[in-house]
Amino acid sequence: MSNNIQTSVPGFQYFMLPFLQVLSDGKTRHMNEINELVIKHTGLTPDQCAVLLPSKADTLVRNRIGWVRTYLYKSGLITQVTRGNYHISPSGLQAIKDNPGGIDIKYLRTQEAFQEWGKSFSTGKEDAESNEVSIEELKTPLELLESSYQIIVNSLAEELLDRIKKGTPAFFEGLVVDVLIAMGYGGFDSSNGQVTQYSNDGGIDGIIKMDKLGLDTIYTQAKMHEGAIKISDVRDFAGSLLSKKARKGVFITTSYFPQSAYDYVKSIDPTIILIDGEKLTRIMIEYGVGVARIGKVYEIKRIDNDYFEL
């Protein structure tokens, strides 16, 4: 699926009026039903509905409709009848009449209930009284958090790859072994991973023993390079694995592989995993190799509906 599809998913304010409209008949509906009716009402395509948040924790559409529910509830435009079931309020019906072209945060700020809610997290008087809608407010709070996190991770990944490229080939070979050990290969035991010490190693730069007897072994090749890796390099690595009767190999580079390399490793035995520079830095960040934690850890939580089940 193309990443460009996300740009065609409407902002979360777009769903405010449709949300109220599906409740305008006065019926109480469960949030699951509201989701489906809003999607049907707005004519969103299956591709749009399938777009995920960066964390892949939920779809973009469901996340946005969920936050619309929060904003409308805090504005007094809908009421919660029972857990997960909502009903439109008289203010909500009036909002539909007043805003046939769409409802946004600017309108919600005219509602006393929303103003009181806003005071609970505003940074000051000017923030609480401002009637301007910033670009950031076109996204849900969770989207803002995730997009900010992605900016930090992307910046860190670029800096990390730059630092790796400034190192020596020997350092890179050791880093590759450290990364695989951190991922759990070799039972998280650093003694089960080693850089080869041979000048003629046949393209094998590291060895990860999956068991103490070495009955199952992963061989690695670490290649610092600029530009695309040659398909011949991947073939040579495969040949080195065959000469050692090995069945598993990992080829890691600071650059990238052409599509032909991915097609090639799919067609052969042994199994070879290709990891380019971008993927390598993401793995290092995820498993804490070459990076350190700073600042607070923010844990996002949600209501445990089972706890409140009557």
* Residue 43: how many other CB atoms lie within 10 Å: 8
Give the burial class of 151: count Cβ atoms within 10 A of its Cβ; 0-12 exposed, 13-18 middle, 19 or more buried. Answer: exposed
| Residues 131, 289: Cα–Cα separation, whole Å | 46
Give the burial class of 38: count Cβ atoms within 10 A of its Cβ; 0-12 exposed, 13-18 middle, 19 or more buried. Answer: buried
At the topology level of CATH, where does 160-287 sit? Trna Endonuclease; Chain: A, domain 1 (3.40.1350)
Statement: the pTM of the whole predicted model exceeds 0.85: no
Residue 3 is predicted with a pLDDT of 45
Residue 199 is predicted with a pLDDT of 47
User: What residues of the chain score a pLDDT lower than 70?
Assistant: 1-7, 120-138, 197-202, 212-214, 294-296, 303, 305-310
Residue 156 is predicted with a pLDDT of 86
Among candidates 138, 140, 116, which has minimal Cα distance to 128? 116
| Residues 255, 206: Cα–Cα separation, whole Å | 19
Domain 3-128, second-level architecture: Orthogonal Bundle (1.10)
| Contacts of 80 by beta carbon, 8 Å cutoff, 6+ apart | 73, 86, 87
Domain boundaries, the chain: 3-128, 160-287
Same topology between domain 3-128 and domain 160-287: no
Residue 171 is predicted with a pLDDT of 92
